Structure 1
């Protein structure tokens, strides 16, 4: 069994992964709003954007990890931040 400090490292790793996944979802929400895709969730907007940009099959995009999608969108997301008053900031601060 690991000691407490090792579990803290593992917990922090998964908290960072969850925060990054949430940020991608929120970026997708803003992307959907910008593009006028009112009926799409954040990840659906991410998938549609990547499909339109790279002409990759949607089925392939849906299998990509959030880490891979963030890499694909690195240029677009560069400098992007969540607006200060966004309600998701409270949830993100708990991660």
Structure 2
């Protein structure tokens, strides 16, 4: 089942500058991924009222030489924990 419930653009940041809404997210991206420091990342949020999806979800999107790539995390952008990021990245990279 696809849960694209109207993503709302929240802004764009350069990975080397970090995220103004989250003091640790840049560090976790550096710890778990090989994304380049100067990468531009777009931030989107969505809310879902269905029982089988997260109430709030954050999507981080970036461009690669193969097209757009993204990571979906089942929390609002300010509430992402290290475990949330790790599990989302692990799920993404295990497919």
TM interval, shorter chain, is under 0.3
Could you state the TM-score of these two structures normalised by the residue count of structure 1?
0.27
**Which has the larger share of helix?**
1
- Normalising by the residue count of structure 2, what TM-score does the alignment of the two structures yield? 0.27
- Considering fraction of residues, name the structure with more strand: 2
Could you say which structure has the larger radius of gyration? 1
